[in-house]
Structures are given as C-alpha cells and as structure tokens.
C-alpha cells in the first residue's frame, strides 16, 4: 500500500468534492489528512463532508487561495486538495495555538515551546497559520512575528521549519485552519514529523539585486523612511530611473522588492540566501515605502531587488531541476508546493502559470500537492526558518 496518496478536485458542493477525493484516494483508511480548501467553500460543511467520507481521522490544513495538483492549478474558490498519509508511522504530532489575535509573537513562542518539548533534533516541522487578522479594517497576522516568536520559544536546537499562511482568496478576505476535528480562526498549527522523516526545500523567487547594499537609517514598523540617510522612495526612484515624485500608491509592488541577504554578503548570488519584502505602497509626502512585513530593523543592510515574470519562471525551472537532481538516491514520500498567491498569473500577469512548471517538471513518481499562500516559510541561507514574500517553496518530505 502506498504510504501517501493525493487527490485534487474542484466542485461547488463540499459533499461531492470530498466524495471525488475519496474515490481517487481509494477505500483504505488513512491515518491523517492534510487538506487545503478553496475559500468559497463553507469550512464547517467541508470538514463534515471529509469526515463522512474518511471517518474520524485527524484533518489538518485549512483555507487556500487556490490549490495546485498534478491535475492542474485553480483559484476559483471551489478547489479541494487532499493528501492522505496512509502509514501511521509517518503521522506528525500536531501542536496548536489559538492566541494569534492576542499577541502574534507570544502565540508563536507558545507554539515553539510546545514543539520543542516533543520534537527530535533536526525535526521536520510544518507550520500553517491563519494569515488574516481582520477583514475590516484589513489587517494581517504578521508571519514574521509568529516565526520570530516560534524560534524564541523553541530555542537553539536544530530544526527544519517550513510552511505558509492560509488565505481564503487572493484579496486577503479571510483565512482559517483545520485543526484535527475543528475549524479555527486566529490559530496556528505545527505538524511535527517523526524522527525518520526529513524535509528538503528549494526557495524560488527570481528576484535579483540591482543595487549595492544600503543601510536602513530610519524605519517605523513596516514603513521604511530612509536608506543611507536619504528618503527611501527617492533612492528607489533614482535606481529605477523614474522621475522624482511620480510614483504613487502600489506601483512599485509589481517591479521591485527590498531584499535582505543572510550569511556572507560577498558570496555569489543564491536565491535561497535572500528574504524579500514586497512593497505594499509608496508615500511621496513622507518619502517612504511600506513593506508587507515589519521585520526589517534599523541598521539592516538591504538591496533593491528586480522582480519580473521572466525571472520568476526561470527561477522555477532551475529550482525544480535542482530538486529533481537532489532526490537521486533518496526515498521521497511527498512534495508540498507553497506558492505565494501573487505569483498566480491572474495576479502577476505571467503568460503561463508558474505552478504548472512545478507540477509538470517535478519528479512524476512523487505524490505532489500545493496551495496558494499568503506568506511562505522556509530556512534561508542555511539558517533558521524565515517568513518570505513573492516566493515559491518546494518542500519534499523524505525518509532519513
């Protein structure tokens, strides 16, 4: 019996979608389900439908802006992706916090401490969390705060952390988490895999530095006011050859990010060494730009990074090829593709779906499921896990 089975479908009725997945997975009883569900489905109805088809099995995962499978990619809101772990020896332990609304750093620390109490050294841990704190006004649960708290609580033991933020759609309308037998808001779940399971990840964003290193000399939260003592917006406009004062609103979000390189700053360029932050908006009156996350600090060395679709697609081709090469001689169990929702062609304007380069190019014998995320989490620069923007993270779980 295959240790892992996957199915992905699209249907407007939860009962039918769950039944179709059950038919594709087969009649054997799974030990756990990892599920990603389009945001137009009612989560309580979907959970009930899945339990009706699969029985009282633990279900983890949550909402997704879209689902990625071998059968195709979709983000209409009625997708359902199910990964069934059939072998009880591969089932992760689940650790939960429901405290994101109160304090994201403290909630992350609570989760990290609980994981640290049960995880083996260098454990593979999948982190999934509700990305949306509020629809009106629009507020996010900052992934960088959750991950920072997680590491504070977990301590210095080696860890393989990966995962992503859960959304109901690409407009950041909402998010929710499947946690065993419940549907939760403002929650995060960590799935701690057994000692015999490891994870390999490849980070794919395609952003390239177009500036030298610059110091953040004035910042407040996520709003960067100065780079090297000059207004941040002025520096970016000059680097891009734009007339001063003409950039408004969200125009920069499609062309550049701010990137922080971890590790040796003089080492050759490697995608996996960079944490990129999307620019949400520019404020000409203040000369500032506001980032997607508030984790860049005063004194940080950053670079302006070029972002375009051709670089993104080339990055995915290289990353998939590298992962395929790295799997030779290993025993892979399954792959999870955690893909920033902004990279979908409906948002990026790319001529093709970059996720299809993954589903078509990645090792065909390995079960694969993916979802469109709000934020991605992976180890950067060979160090600890960090939250990422505009990134595709291909994670392959394998036997050690």
58-110 pLDDT per residue, tens: 999 999 999 999 988 999 999 999 999 999 999 999 999 999 999 999 999 99
Name the nearest CA neighbour of 222 among 102, 142, 104: 142
Beta strands in 212-353 (DSSP E): 214-220, 223-227, 230-231, 256-261, 274-283, 288-291, 301-306, 331-340
How are beta strands 331-340 and 368-373 bridged, if at all? Answer: parallel
Category of 61 on φ-ψ map: left (φ > 0), alpha (ψ -120 to 50) or beta = left
pLDDT at 143: 98
The CA-atom distances, in angstroms, between 54 and each of 13, 165, 176, 335 are: 17, 26, 21, 22
CA distances from 237 to 207, 245, 306 (A): 18, 8, 13
pLDDT in tens, 150-166: 999 999 999 999 999 99
Closest CA to 40 of 143, 168, 182: 168
Give this prediction's pTM: 0.97
Q: Are 293 and 222 in contact (CB under 8 A)?
A: yes
Question: What's the pLDDT at 249?
Answer: 63
- Tokens 């620019």 belong to which residue? 279
- What residues in the chain have per-residue pLDDT under 70? 248-249
Burial class from Cβ neighbours inside 10 Å (0-12, 13-18, 19+) for residue 205 reads buried
3 state SS of 175: coil
Q: In which order are the strands placed within the sheet that holds 79-85?
A: 4-10, 79-85, 32-38, 59-64, 177-180, 182-184
């Amino acid at each position: 019996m295959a240790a892992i089975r996957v199915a992905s479908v699209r249907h407007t009725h939860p009962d039918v979608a769950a039944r179709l997945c059950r038919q594709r997975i087969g009649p054997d009883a799974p030990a756990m389900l990892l599920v990603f569900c389009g945001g137009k489905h009612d989560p309580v109805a979907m959970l009930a439908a899945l339990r009706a088809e699969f029985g009282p099995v633990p279900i983890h995962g949550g909402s997704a802006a879209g689902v990625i499978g071998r059968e195709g990619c979709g983000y209409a809101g009625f997708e359902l992706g199910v990964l069934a772990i059939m072998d009880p020896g591969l089932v992760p332990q689940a650790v939960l916090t429901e405290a994101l609304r109160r304090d994201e750093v403290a909630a992350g620390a609570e989760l990290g401490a609980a994981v640290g109490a049960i995880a083996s050294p260098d454990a593979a841990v999948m982190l999934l969390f509700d990305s949306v704190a509020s629809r009106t006004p629009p507020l996010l649960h900052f992934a960088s705060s959750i991950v920072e708290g997680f590491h504070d609580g977990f301590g210095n033991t080696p860890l393989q952390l990966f995962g992503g933020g859960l959304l109901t759609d690409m407009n950041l309308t909402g998010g929710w988490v499947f946690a065993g037998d419940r549907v939760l808001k403002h929650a995060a779940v960590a799935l701690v895999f057994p000692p015999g399971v490891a994870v390999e990840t490849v980070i794919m964003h395609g952003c390239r530095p177009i500036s030298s290193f610059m110091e953040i000399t004035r910042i407040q939260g996520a709003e960067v006011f100065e780079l090297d003592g000059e207004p941040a917006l002025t520096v970016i406009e000059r680097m891009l050859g734009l007339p001063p004062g003409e950039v408004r609103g969200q125009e920069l979000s499609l062309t550049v990010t701010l990137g922080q390189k971890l590790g040796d700053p003089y080492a050759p360029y490697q995608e996996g060494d960079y944490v990129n932050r999307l620019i949400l908006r520019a404020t000409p009156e203040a000369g500032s730009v506001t980032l997607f996350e508030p984790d860049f600090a005063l004194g940080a060395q950053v670079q302006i990074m070029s972002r375009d679709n051709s670089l993104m697609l080339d990055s995915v081709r290289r990353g998939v090829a590298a992962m395929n090469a790295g799997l030779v001689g290993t025993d892979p169990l399954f792959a999870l593709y955690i893909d920033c929702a902004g990279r979908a062609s409906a948002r990026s304007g790319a001529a093709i779906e970059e996720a299809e380069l993954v589903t078509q190019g990645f090792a065909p014998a390995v079960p694969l499921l993916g979802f469109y995320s709000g934020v991605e989490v992976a180890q950067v620069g060979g160090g600890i896990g960090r939250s990422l923007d505009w990134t595709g993270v291909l994670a392959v779980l394998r036997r050690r």
